[in-house]
Amino acid sequence: MINEGSKDEKQKELMVRELGVFELRGLARELGIASPTTKKREELIDSILNIVKNGESIEHTGKRKGRPYKKLSSIDEIVSSMTNENNTVSDIIEFESLLTFAQEMPIFGNFDNTEMGIFEGIIRTNNEDYFSFYDKTYDKWVFIRNDIENYDKLNTGDKVKVEAKGLGNQSQYEAVKILLVNETEINKYIPIVFDKGEEIISDDKIYYANGEVKIGRRNAYKKIEDIYENDNFHNLTENCVKGKFKLITLGLNTSFEDQIVLKKEKDIENFTTVYGTKCMDNFNMVIDAINYCQRLIDVGEKVVLYIADIITILRSVNECFAKDCDEYSEQSLVVVRKLLSLGRAYKNNNCTLIVCYSELDADDKFLVNDVLKISKNIN
């Protein structure tokens, strides 16, 4: 039972309203609220506050539907304060735990309908029963059961295209046939097993904006102009083609003009959103980019990851977790640090990061204390 005497109701309400949607879903599950992933933010808040106000029992039946998740430490802390339970709280938020928690989606239902469609995206979830991916074009979740033909060819981070049927929920589909994996017909696709070799320090380089970019490292670039205002990005695409690098572009809330330029470039993998995109869609884009980039590294590709504005990415992800956007949440920092950690050189391949930032953010503490400390300056 919830003990109302130990905490003032108003204080608890303020605590709940400070939470991001992912934390609200985790808290709702811990409080026994049914189907939290199908509820909007205000519905979640109302349901949680109703429990706090009425002192309803919290039932942990062990029969929760949907994909299992790992809790963030903040959820344990909140539940403890709400219920006066003396739970043991983990001190570390790991990236894998954050992804499992943050990639919550509607319950995988069994309500077949006749609607069919073709969907594609980056595989991100793998448990014993299914993979899943998010199709950003159609705003749909697609599940791939483990009994579908060619399931064993799939891996997290693969780009997949499938034919799928509706599941009775407008946002959910189940794959009935795998069509392409990493742009190869499924019947011709053979998963690659690649040995990256030991980590090394490479002296190889390419060029961006008339400056040297060290291969397999994090390279910081203070931008004064946007992508569309000069030829630096186009020249980078040509350099990557010549050097046989896979160029991935990651940017959130980019300008409309930059989007025009990016859409014209044929030799890039574009993981960008336009200005005004919802924080959830921005977050999904970052997760897909990380998974896809890691998969390319694992199969032996040489990768250049162009990050259009690292502080904009941090702030955009932070909107999903923190109401006070003046402070970066631990969750958003974990995601961005994972992104930065992709920059490595191996004996047999590498991943090179070009980390752009605006001169307007030159005094940002995370930029100064994290990004610039582990990066080589291009300019």
Location of structure tokens 């991001």: 20
Confidence category of residue 94, pLDDT binned at 50, 70, 90: low
Q: What is the pLDDT of residues 241-267, one digit of tens each?
A: 999 999 999 999 999 999 999 999 999
- What is the distance between the terminal CA atoms of the chain, rounded to a whole angstrom? 60
Would the CATH topology of 116-188 be identical to that of 205-377?
no
Across 10-19, 214-223, 225-234, 274-283, least confident range: 10-19
Give the residue from 143, 146, 147, 145 showing the smallest Cα distance to 172: 143
Residue 28 CB: number of other CB atoms within 10 A?
22
Q: Does domain 116-188 have CATH number 2.40.50.140?
A: yes
Torsion angles phi and psi, residue 87, rounded to 5: -75, 150
List the domain boundaries for the chain: 9-102, 116-188, 205-377
- Condensed to tens digits (0 to 9), the pLDDT of residues 302-349 reads 999 999 999 999 999 999 887 666 789 988 999 999 999 999 999 999
Query: Cα-Cα-Cα-Cα dihedral of 177, 271, 24, 14, to 10°?
Result: -170
pLDDT in tens, 135-192: 999 988 899 999 999 999 999 999 999 999 998 766 789 999 999 999 999 999 999 9
Residue 52 in contact with residue 2, Cβ under 8 Å?
yes
Mean pLDDT of 214-226: 97
pTM of the model: 0.76
CB atoms within 10 A of CB 118: 13
Burial class (CB in 10 A: 0-12, 13-18, 19+), 334: buried
Question: At the topology level of CATH, where does 205-377 sit?
Answer: Rossmann fold (3.40.50)
What mean pLDDT is predicted for residues 355-377? 96
Mean pLDDT of 345-356: 98
**Angle in degrees, CA 64, 68, 74, rounded to 5:** 100
253, containing H or E segment? strand 246-254
- Residue 6, amino acid: S
Is residue 58 exposed (0-12), middle (13-18) or buried (19+ Cβ within 10 Å)?
middle
pLDDT of residue 21: 66
CA-CA-CA-CA dihedral for 134, 135, 141, 142, to nearest 10 = -100
Q: What is the dihedral of CA 308, 314, 318, 324, to 10 degrees?
A: -110
